[in-house]
Amino acid sequence: MTPWGPKGLPKTLLWTLLGLNLLAFTLAVLTLNYSREHYREQAFVATRNIAQLLERDLTADLDRIDQILTDVQTEVEQQLIAGALQPAALDQLLSRRSYRLDERDALRVADAQGRLIYGLPPGLSSQVQIADRPYFQRMQSDSSPGVQLSEPVVSRVTGRWSLVVARRLTDPLGEFAGIVYLALRLDGLEQRFASLDLGAAGAVSLRDAHLHLLARHSVRPQGPTPVGEQRVSEDLKQALARAPLRGEYVAATALDGIERANSYRRLERYPLLIIVGLATDDYLERWWSELTLTSTLMLSFAGLSVLFAGHLRASWRLREQDMHSLAAQGEVLRESEQRFRLLVQGVRDHAIFMLSPEGTVLSWNDGAERLKLWTEAEVVGQHFSVFYPPELVAAGAPERHLARARTHGHHTVEEIRVRKSGERFWASVTLTALHDQAGRLTGYAKLTRDITVSKRVELQERRRRTVLEMMLSDAPLSATLQAVLQGLPDQGVGLTSAVLLKPASASSLILAAQQPAAGAWQSLLSAHPLDTADPWADWLQSAQPFLLWGPDPQDPAWCMAARQALGVQTLLLWPIGPRGAPALGVVVLGVSDPTQERTALAALAQEAADLCLIIVQRARSAEAQALAASVYQALGEAIVVTSAAGEIQALNPAFQQLTGYRTEALQSLPLKDLAEDSRESAWWARLWQSLETTGRWQGEVRTRFAHGEVRPQWWMISTIEDEQGTAQKRLLILSEVTDKKRAEEIIWREANYDPLTGLPNRRLFMDRLVQALKRAQQGREGLTLMLIDLDHFKSVNDQWGHEAGDVVLQTAAQRLLACVRSTDTVARWGGDEFTVLLTGAEDAARAGALAERMVASLSEPIAWEAERLNIGASIGLCLAGSSPDDAERLLSHADQAMYQVKRAGRGGFRFYAGEDDLSASLTKAHKA
């Protein structure tokens, strides 16, 4: 945010507002000051006027009094010249003059000794003396004529404060003869002052020459007037010093402390001073209102200024924020644009460019250059239809796409495009219409991505699926092969046509040909048969790919003809068939675009060839299966098909006829349910063990028929295995029992089983060991071999006879069988030696535990007649390794391990510990 700084507009405005406020304030102060001075001046004018009026008034009064006094003086002096004072004549005189006097002011005459000789009220006679009065004594000694004024005195006649106005009397000799005077009552003066309008607190005073207070009127009196009081304010003293006759001053009066604007004036002819004052509060009353009003206005103005400034500041801040935010947005936008431009420029996997509304290229990014191989300088200004293959341009695709984008906002399509080199590729194209704010079309943004790889995979998968579905729905072979070819041009590799040929009689057989070039192929082959002469014969035998990329004089004549007939440069022949085996057919591709990637073409041909091989092989295996099924159905032998685990899956008609069963009745039942003999579980276990280890079993079985009948049947069970040797099905063929079959079985049993113990003999054990080793070497199961030799068996024979030895051998066989699983094989190797073959996911831990159990079991006493025979067992173990162990070597290793146990004292087991265990093998060899 921009600071509320000195350079900003708001700061200027702030200063302006402040200046305006200061100006207004100054003006207001000046105006108020002027106004105050004005009011004061008015007050002075008023007081001056009043003082002047009072001066005139008082002077007039005193003049009048003086006139009377002069008249009386003249009269009295004449009477004195005449001999004695004649009061009657004075009364007469005074009665003529008395209208000019206030009735309260008495005119009196005192003689030279100060005795009142005239003017006393009745009853007082001559008792009144004024000889002690200072004014009397002054006049007694001062012979100057003229009127004299006294200091304020309390009249001895009236008892009131009075001012004595007197004239000196002289006798004819010129000696002092007394005074004639008028005692002017001061309260009378105060009453006169009271008639003046002096506001709420004004005052007027009269002082004598020595500033004694004579009379005073205050609108707000503080008590009786202190007549004679000489205290005055310093301001008055200073003013009098400056201007003794008249002047003005402002001061708080010494008597009541109220500040007033005062005017003073000395009477010209009498030593009196008039002071008139108007209280400051009075004359400034209006000024105070003005001050209040002005202050209110000023405060209002200042308040409004502050509000205005605040509002302005807030608005400015908002504006600043807006501007900042705009600036920030602008910056973000610029950055975003920059990033977008860099992004678009830098995108290398997508062609991103702009088109004008007419489809002319306006801009070009790195990805576009990489994808389409045009540089920006070459392509800008060209119409974008240069990226379309000619057939799409001819069909009006570019214009159609623009129109769609215009109508719908954008248009996405997956189609073939061409690079500058002419190479075709699968592209995913999105055209987006761009408009300005007024909604006018400004152009198009075009995004193109090379999707050749994924598209090929997708098309390949689609074709495979189609072909698979056709195969599963048993579509005709030719139609399925045709489907392989039909999808090929979509792969975008510029294929002109493809054909599948059957080489054996190639000239006449086209297995399938891609439309619409089938006719061209047909006529080519009729004119130039692809015979089996050199070099084709050898090639077809080897089934190697044959790629002809360009015309070469060495090429077979047929190729030259094919190129010519199809109008192509590149021919590609790919054999159909497993490598190294004679070809079943040939895929021939004619490629129109010489720039095509060879690996892509080769992959396409190979994939078509692989698909064709699967189709042909399946057709053949279907034929074979159909044949087998018809044989199975037609055969006179009764046949049952089961799963590898023995669950019944199918019965042929002959079986149903023989046994009376329907297929549904036996479906999923175990095969052993058909054998009455399987009630004895050990019998069935032996049978199944034989079947699992040898894959075959045959013998007489009491067989249950449909209606409860049990008839002896000859069972011949064989196993159908897959290519890895894993059992898939069991096939049981039932037939009538014949002597020959019985004899065969006896011979078979004697050849494979030990008659004393019933265990498989050495021969059968070796068979099973070899089979198990095969499986172990395919990594499908583990294998452990055990060689068990009874300890001290000879002594049983020696001590108890051969029969006892036989019982011991039989018992040992049973005990060993009881220790193992049904899938394991326990065999009698010979004499008192047994072998055990443990299969499945064997490990040393389980084999060791089993050996331990066997040692323990064989150590248990064996009952014979009343005796308890004691033997033991020594066991050698050997785990089949990942190396191709042969059976003999395994047996030798187990034997070495067993002998080590014997040497160590018997009664135990031991694993073969490697070739280093020489002592064991050597000693055994010696023993042998």
The residues binding ligand GTP (CB under 6 A) are: 756, 789-795, 797, 802, 805-806, 809, 831-832, 902
CB under 8 Å, gap of 24 or more: what pairs does 483-488 form?
Answer: 484/512, 484/608, 484/611, 484/612, 484/615, 485/512, 485/513, 485/514, 485/608, 486/514, 486/515, 487/459, 487/462, 487/463, 488/514, 488/589, 488/604, 488/608
Phi, psi of 382 (to 5 degrees): -85, 160
Name the residue among 199, 201, 226 with its Cα closest to residue 215: 226
How many CB atoms are located within 10 Å of the residue 880 CB? 24
Taking the complex as a whole, the smallest distance from the CB of residue 867 to ligand GTP amounts, in Å, to 15
Structure tokens, 387? 């990226």
Residue identified by tokens 């049904």 is 822
| Contact call for residues 141 and 112 (beta carbons, < 8 A) | no
Residue closer to ligand GTP, measured from CB, 423 or 791: 791
Helix axes 598-634 and 477-486, enclosed angle (nearest 10)? 160
Residue closer to ligand GTP, measured from CB, 343 or 904: 904
Residue closer to ligand GTP, measured from CB, 249 or 793: 793
Taking the complex as a whole, the smallest distance from the CB of residue 689 to ligand GTP amounts, in Å, to 23
Taking the complex as a whole, the smallest distance from the CB of residue 804 to ligand GTP amounts, in Å, to 7
Taking the complex as a whole, the smallest distance from the CB of residue 890 to ligand GTP amounts, in Å, to 21
- SS in 3 state form for 66-116? HHHHHHHHHHHHHHHHHCCCCHHHHHHHHHHHHHHCCCCCEEEEEECCCEE
Which DSSP string corresponds to 180-202?
EEEEEEHHHHHHHHHTS--TTT-
Taking the complex as a whole, the smallest distance from the CB of residue 802 to ligand GTP amounts, in Å, to 4
How buried is 512 (Cβ within 10 angstroms: 0-12 exposed, 13-18 middle, 19+ buried)?
Answer: buried
User: Alpha-carbon distance 154 to 187, whole Å?
Assistant: 12
Taking the complex as a whole, the smallest distance from the CB of residue 894 to ligand GTP amounts, in Å, to 15
Question: For strand 259-266 and strand 410-418, is the pairing parallel, antiparallel, or unpaired?
Answer: unpaired
Name the residue among 232, 274, 228 with its Cα closest to residue 251: 232
Taking the complex as a whole, the smallest distance from the CB of residue 629 to ligand GTP amounts, in Å, to 51
Residue closer to ligand GTP, measured from CB, 75 or 832: 832
| Contact call for residues 518 and 565 (beta carbons, < 8 A) | no
User: Alpha-carbon distance 277 to 54, whole Å?
Assistant: 13
In what order do the strands lie in the sheet containing 350-355? 350-355, 441-450, 424-435, 410-418
Residue closer to ligand GTP, measured from CB, 582 or 872: 872
Taking the complex as a whole, the smallest distance from the CB of residue 799 to ligand GTP amounts, in Å, to 11
| Contact call for residues 109 and 90 (beta carbons, < 8 A) | yes
Residue closer to ligand GTP, measured from CB, 705 or 800: 800
Taking the complex as a whole, the smallest distance from the CB of residue 793 to ligand GTP amounts, in Å, to 4
Taking the complex as a whole, the smallest distance from the CB of residue 822 to ligand GTP amounts, in Å, to 26
Taking the complex as a whole, the smallest distance from the CB of residue 855 to ligand GTP amounts, in Å, to 13
Name the residue among 585, 536, 593 with its Cα closest to residue 559: 536
User: Alpha-carbon distance 637 to 111, whole Å?
Assistant: 203
Sign of the C-alpha dihedral, residues 338, 339, 340, 341? positive
Structure tokens, 760? 């498989």
Taking the complex as a whole, the smallest distance from the CB of residue 857 to ligand GTP amounts, in Å, to 17
Q: Which residue lies nearest ligand GTP, judged by its C-beta?
A: 805
Residue closer to ligand GTP, measured from CB, 305 or 810: 810
Taking the complex as a whole, the smallest distance from the CB of residue 796 to ligand GTP amounts, in Å, to 7
Within 361-506, residue ranges assigned H as helices are 366-372, 376-379, 390-394, 397-408, 452-472, 477-486
Residue closer to ligand GTP, measured from CB, 415 or 806: 806
Structure tokens, 506? 């190639």
Residue closer to ligand GTP, measured from CB, 528 or 902: 902
Taking the complex as a whole, the smallest distance from the CB of residue 820 to ligand GTP amounts, in Å, to 22
Which DSSP string corresponds to 338-372?
HHHHHHHHH--SEEEEEE-TTSBB----HHHHHHH
Residue closer to ligand GTP, measured from CB, 609 or 826: 826
Residue closer to ligand GTP, measured from CB, 217 or 902: 902
User: Alpha-carbon distance 155 to 127, whole Å?
Assistant: 14
| Contact call for residues 445 and 434 (beta carbons, < 8 A) | yes
Taking the complex as a whole, the smallest distance from the CB of residue 745 to ligand GTP amounts, in Å, to 24
Question: For strand 908-911 and strand 872-879, is the pairing parallel, antiparallel, or unpaired?
Answer: parallel
Residue closer to ligand GTP, measured from CB, 637 or 803: 803
User: Alpha-carbon distance 568 to 575, whole Å?
Assistant: 20
Residue identified by tokens 């060879």 is 598
Give the 3-state secondary structure of residue 261.
Answer: strand
Residue closer to ligand GTP, measured from CB, 176 or 800: 800
Residue closer to ligand GTP, measured from CB, 792 or 846: 792
Taking the complex as a whole, the smallest distance from the CB of residue 828 to ligand GTP amounts, in Å, to 9
| Contact call for residues 530 and 501 (beta carbons, < 8 A) | yes
Taking the complex as a whole, the smallest distance from the CB of residue 831 to ligand GTP amounts, in Å, to 4
Name the residue among 488, 445, 444, 428 with its Cα closest to residue 464: 488
Residue closer to ligand GTP, measured from CB, 519 or 861: 861
Residue closer to ligand GTP, measured from CB, 700 or 806: 806
User: Alpha-carbon distance 562 to 590, whole Å?
Assistant: 9
Taking the complex as a whole, the smallest distance from the CB of residue 801 to ligand GTP amounts, in Å, to 8
Name the residue among 282, 239, 238 with its Cα closest to residue 263: 239
CA count, 13 A, side-chain hemisphere, 353? 31
Residue closer to ligand GTP, measured from CB, 297 or 756: 756
Residue closer to ligand GTP, measured from CB, 73 or 757: 757
Structure tokens, 664? 């549904």
